Amino acid sequence: NAGVTQTPKFQVLKTGQSMTLQCAQDMNHEYMSWYRQDPGMGLRLIHYSVGAGITDQGEVPNGYNVSRSTTEDFPLRLLSAAPSQTSVYFCASSYTSGNTIYFGEGSWLTVV
């Protein structure tokens, strides 16, 4: 049972570099989302998707892009990394509205 799988687990970037955080789920979940976790602030929603081909912005979308070409995958792209994007990123998924939301193990990103 893989569940929600995120890669990489740790990454250090230089300011201005781009990268993609990968997220995959093997539970045939329709809903997927990305959150960031910052000290003292809990988790905040970046982007979400309610199905393949459909994405929308969350609370803190600036500086991030997403796409959902398949049900299984929901990558998060940082176009030009900034130190303010240093955070822990969590991918999450759920089957449908009202079902339990499952989280990946997190990706620790540092931008220097």
Partner 1 sequence: GDSVTQMEGPVTLSEEAFLTINCTYTATGYPSLFWYVQYPGEGLQLLLKATKADDKGSNKGFEATYRKETTSFHLEKGSVQVSDSAVYFCALSARDSSYKLIFGSGTRLLVRP
Instruction: For the CB of residue 15, give the shortest distance to partner 1 in the complex, in Å.
Output: 26
Task: Assess contact for 63 and 7: CB atoms under 8 A.
Answer: no
Single-letter amino acid, residue 10: F
Peptide bond into 83 cis (omega under 30): no
Instruction: For the CB of residue 40, give the shortest distance to partner 1 in the complex, in Å.
Output: 6
**Is residue 50 a contact point for partner 1 (CB under 8 A)?**
yes
Among 19, 22, 44, 77, binds partner 1 (CB under 8 A): 44
Single-letter amino acid, residue 108: W
**Of residues 92, 81, 68, 73, the one with CA closest to residue 19:** 81
Q: Which is nearer to partner 1, 10 or 14 (CB)?
A: 10
Residues at the site binding partner 1, with contacts judged by CB under 8 A: 4, 31, 33, 35, 40-45, 48, 50, 58, 90, 92, 94, 97-106
